[in-house]
């Protein structure tokens, strides 16, 4: 009996441990596990960019390009009363502009040099503008988009004569031209809709 006394004493002491000790051990283990999980989450999210939790990312739409009026000069220097390859290429370039594709009105102003009578020069300038118009219509442009204006010799861009009074062929060739202007399309805003008036008895 005397040899079993220490063993019985140890068992008695272990059984008498207060339950608070076990609770403290369990809480310490839980705190350690939570710290380890938080550290693991921080490591996983270290490479991800920070995002706002208030609203999603906003992508602003791109603004459409601004359309400007188109202008070109169609020369009749080499062939005074006929469209040459350079003239048709210039008209093709006009048809490729944003203003033209948007459906804006087209103005063709015909010009001439100063040789001959004023009336004849005005007729010649109109014929040049009509040649440009006919080419555009042949390409599928609606004729009601096109306006033809005959200027004649009144607005030269180069001298028609030299200082000694003789003709200046180079200047006259530059003055035989058609100026093309493609304006922006007109935006029609409908009138506001008024509410129906109350019916009178």
Q: Which residue is associated with the tokens 């006919």? A: 134
Adjacent-strand bridge partners of 75: 177
- Say whether pTM exceeds 0.85: no
Q: What is the mean pLDDT of residues 149-160?
A: 96
Q: Which CATH architecture has domain 70-182?
A: 2-Layer Sandwich (3.30)
Cα 98–Cα 104–Cα 107 angle in degrees, nearest 5: 110
* Residue closest to 105 by CA, chosen among 146, 136, 148: 146
Q: Which residue is associated with the tokens 């459409």? A: 64
Q: Could you give the CA distance from residue 132 to residue 136 in angstroms, rounded to a whole number?
A: 6
Q: Could you give the CA distance from residue 184 to residue 9 in angstroms, rounded to a whole number?
A: 106
CA dist list (Å): 85 to 74, 75, 76, 88, 89: 11, 10, 11, 5, 6
Q: What is the pLDDT of residue 186?
A: 78
Q: What is the pLDDT of residue 192?
A: 73
CA dist list (Å): 20 to 17, 25, 26, 28: 9, 9, 10, 12
* Residue closest to 182 by CA, chosen among 102, 69, 58, 68: 69
For residue 86, give both structure tokens. Answer: 């350079």
Q: Could you give the CA distance from residue 153 to residue 89 in angstroms, rounded to a whole number?
A: 25
| Number of neighbours of residue 74 by Cβ within 10 angstroms | 25
pLDDT at 169 over 80: yes
Tell me the pLDDT of the chain averaged across its residues: 80
Contact 73, 177 (CB under 8 A): yes
Q: What is the pLDDT of residue 189?
A: 59
- Region of poorest pLDDT, from 11-20, 78-87, 155-164: 11-20
């Amino acid at each position: 009996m005397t040899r079993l006394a220490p063993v019985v004493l140890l068992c008695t002491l272990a059984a008498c441990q207060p339950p608070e000790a076990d609770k403290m051990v369990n809480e310490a283990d839980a705190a350690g596990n939570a710290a380890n999980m938080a550290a693991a989450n921080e490591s996983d999210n270290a490479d991800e960019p920070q995002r706002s939790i208030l609203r999603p990312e906003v992508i602003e739409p791109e603004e459409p390009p601004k359309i400007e009026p188109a202008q070109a000069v169609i020369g009749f220097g080499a062939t005074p009363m006929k469209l040459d390859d350079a003239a048709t290429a210039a008209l093709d370039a006009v048809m490729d502009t944003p203003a033209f594709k948007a459906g804006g009105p087209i103005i063709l102003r015909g010009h001439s040099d100063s040789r001959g009578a004023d009336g004849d020069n005005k007729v010649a300038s109109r014929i040049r503008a009509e040649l440009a118009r006919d080419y555009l219509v042949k390409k599928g442009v609606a004729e009601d988009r096109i306006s033809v204006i005959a200027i004649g010799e009144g607005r030269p861009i180069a001298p028609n004569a030299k200082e000694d009074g003789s003709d200046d062929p180079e200047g006259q060739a530059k003055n035989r031209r058609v100026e093309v202007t493609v304006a922006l399309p007109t935006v029609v805003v409908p009138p506001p809709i008024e509410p129906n008036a109350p019916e009178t008895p």
